[in-house]
Structure 1
Amino acid sequence: MPSSYQTPHLKQRLVAAIAVSLALLGSAAQAQEKIKLKFADWMPLTHYTVINAAKPFMAKATELSKGTLEFQYFPAEQLGKAKDLLTLLQSGAADIVDISPAYISDKFALSSVAELPAMFTTACQGTRAYASLAKEGGILSDKEFKPLGVRVLVSVAYAPYKVATVGRKVESVKDFSGLKLRTAGGAMDMTATRVGAVPVRMPGPDILPSMTRGTLDGSLVPLQSMKVFDMQTVAKHMTTDVSLGSFITVYAISERAWGKLPVDLRAALSEAGQFATETHCNYVDTQEPKVVAELEKEGVKGNTMAAGQLQLLNEQLKDVANEWAASLDKRNRPGSAVLTEFRKAVAK
């Protein structure tokens, strides 16, 4: 081929090679572009749920996304109180928030199913059952979270609630009578009322000052949360064998933020959510016996119910779940269906 034809062809090849290189550089730059998600939490940094759920979730999502996902984390109500975080999520002021359904029970009445008494015996049992209903395709996802424009990434159910009191030791059913006990709202109010106590709904940070002033006689509480809120400084007694419900908290992302993410980053968040869900419940179940021993060393005396009283208590509470479901059914909410699904999930 004459040399006069070589130069144009060489130029074309060079131009093509440069174009490919520029395209590759552009793709690499695009792949490395960071996506920052604003995460609002009401819990303090010292809370074991932050340490064993929030932090593992963010770390795992960052790892799985190879650093593409980044988080601006705002703990301890920096962006808003627990009851306001759903509004922040829906308004776009945050991308991910910690929602505790009991604090917004008018919006999340169905989620109270996991707060009913004597439903499960370990945190993992309750967590996995709740997570199966809250995930994509589950009845709680379809009937409660999706209509509000949010999607659950991490599910947390705490160890079954006990009773911590300042003065009176609770070892019989009649010992509950008249006690002003803190509840988180929702189904827990029904539990307290059924045993003759006076439910006082309030968030965790308000428990200590209320117990100190005598506004509260005690609290329904997972024992691992007592030291989080310094309750061991005023409480003198705790039951160790009752199961008076639980408390649910979830990390949820807005559908708006979810819809903007590419498929691979959605997958990273979902996997990180499952990882954090398991990490937290395993921690809680492992630590429960150790926590009892630590609290006793700090002066909170543990006791079981007197002979025959635990059975009597559970008998007294057995209809709470059915009443809860019926009350929701009357409001055209699928309480009975959710209760049935939850019981099935717990039994698996």
Structure 2
Amino acid sequence: MSPAYVTDKMALSDVAMLPGMFTEVCKGTHAYWKMATEGLLAKTDFGGNKIHPIFVALLPPYQVIGPHHPIKSFEDLKGIKIRSSGGSVDLTIRALGATPVKLTGPETREGLERGTIDANLGPNSSLKGYDIFPLAKYGTQGASFGSFVVTYSISDRVWNGLSDEVKQALAKAGEETNTHLCQAHERENLSAIKAMEDLGADFYHPTDADKQAFAATATSVAAQWAKELDDRGKQGSAALAEFKSELGK
């Protein structure tokens, strides 16, 4: 299950999809996994839904990529329509001065061709599967516009009925899978960048000034996200603080 698609049931998992949180997929994966198995998410998003996490997959930091709009600074993102996967990603796109348009992954290519969206916001590692390489003319690299979380779980009812031996085997396999997936995503991300550059893509690498400006934007987005959850009686601020703490370890 992707928490972004069920934010009413797994609201706090959105913390790992906020912008500016991490640049290394494995660091983000291990921080989220710790929260999902031992921290706040274990009690809320998983325990609250009576499910037990088996393994998770976080995607590389999101980049903006599209066919028609050259990007020489983050200012060039203002006013364009950017595909969003929903949740906190909407906040990020609006903070950049752009308009979020919610489309599924398989709808992205058609959206770019028809002009429903001007650019995609997502990880490089997913673009080949959606046949977006030919449309990747302009984009960003080295930014951290958020991520995407996919969780694989088993119901508490079934988990509790398993023997200790089977539980230990699944736990070990889950840990190994987390590491394998995050490393594979890192490799695929680099491979995708090279493939698009070979096809002539022009990527903007943020300057230090742009990075500093966006860091302030990301902090504001995270604070807004946390406050909106706090106001709904959920522990947004606590989740944000815990995720930052785990990332720092």
Query: Shorter-chain-normalised TM-score: which range?
Result: over 0.9
Alignment correspondent of 1:215: 116
Note if contact 1:114-1:246 (Cα within 8 Å) is conserved in structure 2: yes
Choose the corresponding residue for 2:32, options 123, 127, 130. Answer: 130
Q: Hey, what's the Cα distance between the residues in 1 that align with 2:101 and 2:51?
A: 29
Alignment correspondent of 1:230: 131
Alignment correspondent of 1:290: 191
Aligned pairs, how many?
Answer: 249
Q: Hey, what's the Cα distance between the residues in 1 that align with 2:201 and 2:7?
A: 31
The secondary structure found in structure 2 opposite 1:274 is: helix
Q: Hey, what's the Cα distance between the residues in 1 that align with 2:70 and 2:50?
A: 45
Note if contact 2:71-2:203 (Cα within 8 Å) is conserved in structure 1: no
- Residues 1:263 and 1:306: Cα distance change in structure 2 (over 3 Å): closer
Alignment correspondent of 1:330: 231
Q: Hey, what's the Cα distance between the residues in 2 that align with 1:306 and 1:266?
A: 48
State how 1:141-156 maps to structure 2 within 5 Å.
141-156=42-57
Note if contact 2:35-2:42 (Cα within 8 Å) is conserved in structure 1: yes
Alignment correspondent of 1:139: 40
- Residues 1:194 and 1:298: Cα distance change in structure 2 (over 3 Å): same
Return 242-251 or 198-207, whichever deviates more. Answer: 198-207
Q: Find runs of 4+ consecutive structure 1 residues off by over 3 angstroms.
A: none
Q: Hey, what's the Cα distance between the residues in 2 that align with 1:161 and 1:216?
A: 16
Note if contact 2:10-2:44 (Cα within 8 Å) is conserved in structure 1: no
The secondary structure found in structure 1 opposite 2:130 is: coil
Which structure 2 segments of 5+ residues have no match?
none
Alignment correspondent of 1:90: none
Q: Hey, what's the Cα distance between the residues in 1 that align with 2:236 and 2:52?
A: 20
Choose the corresponding residue for 1:183, options 78, 84, 107. Answer: 84
Q: Hey, what's the Cα distance between the residues in 2 that align with 1:328 and 1:198?
A: 22
Note if contact 1:171-1:306 (Cα within 8 Å) is conserved in structure 2: no
Q: Report deviation, 1:301.
A: 2.4
User: Relative contact order (alpha carbons < 8 A, sep ≥ 6): 1 or 2 greater?
Assistant: 2
- Residues 1:306 and 1:342: Cα distance change in structure 2 (over 3 Å): closer
2:247 equivalent to 1:346? yes
2:158 equivalent to 1:248? no
2:172 equivalent to 1:271? yes
TM-score by length of 1: 0.69
State how 1:1-348 maps to structure 2 within 5 Å.
99-135=1-37, 137-305=38-206, 308-348=209-249
Q: Hey, what's the Cα distance between the residues in 2 that align with 1:242 and 1:215?
A: 24
Q: Which residue identity lines up with residue 336 of structure 1 in the other structure? A: S
TM-score by length of 2: 0.95
The secondary structure found in structure 1 opposite 2:56 is: strand
Note if contact 1:116-1:246 (Cα within 8 Å) is conserved in structure 2: yes
Q: Hey, what's the Cα distance between the residues in 2 that align with 1:307 and 1:335?
A: 30
Q: Hey, what's the Cα distance between the residues in 2 that align with 1:166 and 1:288?
A: 19
Alignment correspondent of 1:77: none
Note if contact 1:105-1:185 (Cα within 8 Å) is conserved in structure 2: no
Which structure 1 segments of 5+ residues have no match?
1-98
Q: Hey, what's the Cα distance between the residues in 2 that align with 1:119 and 1:267?
A: 31
Alignment correspondent of 1:61: none
User: After superposition, what is the alpha-carbon deviation per residue over 1:128-187, rounded to whole angstroms, capped at 9, x for unaligned?
Assistant: 00000001x321010111111111111111111111112102232321112111111111
